[in-house]
Amino acid sequence: MEIKKKKVIRLVLIVILIIIMLLLWLGLMNSKGSLRYKKRINSSEMAEASKPVFVVDGNSNIKIDGIEDTVYKFSVKNYDKTGKSNIDLRYSIQIVNNSQVDLDFILTNEEGLVNLNNNKTGLILLSSSKKQSDEYQLKIKYKNNPAITSDIDGNIQIKVETTEER
């Protein structure tokens, strides 16, 4: 009987030792894993998020009388009060005419006439290397007779769309 008790005690001790060794091994593996994770976080190779800044300035209300040509001035910028864009941007300008009035649009900038194809420009670069402000002037010309202002009012829009330069 004593031999049986000794065998049982020995077996219990072996099982307890195995459990302790497994717990120590798991604890050691867990600490190595967290150390590897800390090394990755503490590395100096951190990616910085891009900060695109794109501002379109201009008066939101244009006085259109339907008789004389109307001029609207606006600008497109890559900076604001908080800073400058840190990525290059490309943008296009589109003039949308939802009115029933037959109109011509003439878009100019500091360099002269801007080519409009179906009332839309090609892509224009806003470089991140410096603060940039592109000034534009849109002239709305009436093709035929004077228009009724209620037909035009709110039906002409200037859309400026941008994408990040890749």
Instruction: Kindly report, residue by residue over 26-63, the tens digit of the pLDDT.
Output: 776 665 544 444 445 555 555 567 778 888 888 777 76
Q: What are residue 49's phi and psi, to 5 degrees?
A: -70, 145
Full-model pTM:
0.65
Q: Which CATH number fits domain 55-164: 2.60.40, 1.10.600, 3.30.70, 3.30.110?
A: 2.60.40
Identify the CA nearest to 134 among candidates 70, 71, 91, 83. 91
Instruction: Kindly report, residue by residue over 73-126, the tens digit of the pLDDT.
Output: 999 999 999 889 888 999 999 998 887 777 888 999 999 999 999 999 999 999
Buried b (16+ CB within 10 A) or exposed e, 118-141: ebebeebebebeeebebebebebe
